[in-house]
Amino acid sequence: MNTSGRSLLLSASIALVSACVTSTVDEMIYNEPIEGIGDSSVVILGRRHGSDYETEPDFVLCVGEYIASYDHSITVIGELEFINALYPWFEPRTAPLHPEDIDRLLAQKPVAEKLAALKVEYMIWLDGSTVRTGGSGSMACSLVGCFGFGTWAHDANYEATIWDFTDQAAVGHINTHASGQSYMPAVIIPIPIIAPVKGAACDGIGHQLLEFLSSEY
Amino acid sequence: MGVPLSRSMISADLPHRPQLLAAVVFTCLLAGCGPTTVVVQGNFPPPLIEPLPLTLGVWYGDDFARHEFFDEAKGRGESSWVVNTGEAQVQMWDTLLAGMFEKIIHLNNKPGPGQSNASIDGVLIPHVEELQYTIPIHTHVKVYEIWMRYRFELVTTGGEPIAEWSMASYGKTPTAFLQSNQAAVNLAAVMALRDAGANFATHFTQVPAVQAWLQEKGVLANASTP
């Protein structure tokens, strides 16, 4: 089989084992940088002060990687690196909830110096989570294999709030909602057909943020 | 956090004789392998804060440095838990206090009469008064949580009280694919310890009796208040 034939087979296999995802993105941007963010950097942080959920670190990482992979000129500071460098000011208890709180942070001389050294121009807060919303079916496994059928759904809801560090103001909100149904039929071997719900939400929000931050998109 | 989230308490020094090994395995099976043990491990960053120009003595009592929480199983399907936070407590508080004060000195003995040391401005004695945890099997919420309540004593090297106050801390982590209960409880404990550090660092200078002490030492104007 030639290379294009293999690629076609691989694409068809991926399409077959991926379930469908419905995704919507809403954005409200007030003050987009026309020339991109230049040599400044951006930090993407997850909100963690909710009592029954927290924004997954892997989602925050996914959005950062999406932006950095499409525009190599944008420096995205890692979440853990940032909150460790600025400990204790970005812990769930102490993290600023409103752009006006930036003043309170900058009043701390070591914090102001660290933020200046990191060249943070934009701070993006991601708030939300992906949850499993239901499931049905049954499967029985024995020595000869598994038989049955299972299905489950996931819902992803995230909001990105963009803070301009220089102007100390919120300059944009992006909401994304994605949902999808995953399946797992089993005739001897279980074949998971996974709906990449979180991935779709990451791509949706990542693309809008890329358009905001990059001069090339 | 870049380090193993949990480690086993079982010693690596295994018996050599097969009969003894079989006996150990059989006893282990009969006993359900004992309680689930978590020795909390994590990395704690130094605080980004203007240090107070004071020399602080620190004394960790045995109850603190070897702090261990034991919770007996309440039902047939549950396991008993031992959460050992002592080592991580000392690591976190050492890192935090070293960043909050110009100098810290570890004391070998509890402050008391006849132990005055003019170079030390005050001695901090932390205590873990209470620790509670929840795992999804208890609450049916997909979150692991740890609460801790601390009590702090700030005394002179002679043991005379300067201030005493309580403080709570909280840490949680959501369930994750292929994450064991021990790893999740460890991560929740690390979050609770980080929260304790954040709470202490941002509120220390707001405790009224501490404020009076800082004024007496003439350093309140330089104190880092959020």
Where do the structural domains in chain A lie, given as residue ranges? 22-129+158-175+196-213
Closest by CA to A27, choosing from A177, A180, A190, A192, is A177
Q: Residue B135: what pLDDT? A: 80
Which residues are CB-neighbours of A122 under 8 A, at least 6 positions away?
A37, A40, A42, A43, A162, A163, A164, A165, A171, A213
Q: How many residues does chain A have?
A: 217
Tokens 């026309």: give the residue.
A34
As a whole number, the mean pLDDT across chain B is 83
Closest by CA to A175, choosing from A131, A122, A128, is A128
Residue B28 has pLDDT above 60, yes or no: no
pLDDT level of residue B11 (50, 70, 90 thresholds): very low
Q: Per-residue confidence of chain A (217 residues) as pLDDT tens digits?
A: 555 566 555 555 555 556 788 989 888 887 777 677 777 899 999 998 877 788 999 999 999 999 999 999 999 999 999 999 999 999 999 999 999 899 889 999 999 999 999 999 999 999 999 998 888 999 999 988 999 999 999 999 999 999 998 888 999 999 999 999 999 999 999 999 999 999 999 999 999 999 999 888 7
pLDDT digits (tens, 9 = 90+) for B36-87: 899 999 999 999 999 999 999 999 999 999 999 888 877 776 778 899 999 9
Residue B128 has pLDDT above 50, yes or no: yes
Say if strands A169-190 and A21-29 run parallel, antiparallel, or are unpaired: antiparallel
Angstrom distance (rounded) from CA A168 to CA A101 = 9
Q: Residue B225: what pLDDT? A: 47
Sort residue B34 into left (φ over 0), alpha (ψ -120 to 50) or beta: left
Say whether B49 and A94 touch across the interface (CB within 8 A).
no
A contacts of B202 (beta carbons < 8 Å): 88, 93-94
Comparing CB atoms, the residue among B1, B50, B143 nearest residue A109 is: B50
CB neighbourhood size of A172 (10 A): 20
Nearest chain B residue to A94 by CA distance is B198
Contact B179, B166 (CB under 8 A): no
Q: Residue A180: what pLDDT? A: 94
Say whether A104 and B48 touch across the interface (CB within 8 A).
no
Which residues are CB-neighbours of A3 under 8 A, at least 6 positions away?
none
Q: What percent of chain B has pLDDT over 90?
A: 57
Q: Please tell me the pTM assigned to this model.
A: 0.82
Give the Cα-Cα-Cα angle A51, A54, A57 (nearest 5 degrees): 160
CB neighbourhood size of B75 (10 A): 7
Say whether B45 and A87 touch across the interface (CB within 8 A).
yes
Residue B95 has pLDDT above 80, yes or no: yes
Say whether B48 and A111 touch across the interface (CB within 8 A).
yes
Contact B44, B96 (CB under 8 A): yes
The architecture of the domain spanning A22-129+158-175+196-213 is 3-Layer(aba) Sandwich (3.40)
Nearest chain A residue to B198 by CA distance is A88
Q: Residue A12: what pLDDT? A: 54
What are the DSSP calls for B83-129, one per residue?
Answer: EE-HHHHHHHHHHHHHHHEEEEEE-SS---TT---TT--EEEEEEEE
Q: Residue B18: what pLDDT? A: 60
Say whether B201 and A109 touch across the interface (CB within 8 A).
no
Q: Residue A172: what pLDDT? A: 92
What Cα–Cα distance (Å) separates residue A124 from each residue in A43, A120, A160, A178, B177? 6, 11, 6, 20, 26
Place domain B18-222 in its CATH homologous superfamily: Lipoprotein like domain (3.30.160.150)
Q: Residue B226: what pLDDT? A: 47
Average pLDDT over residues B17-23: 59
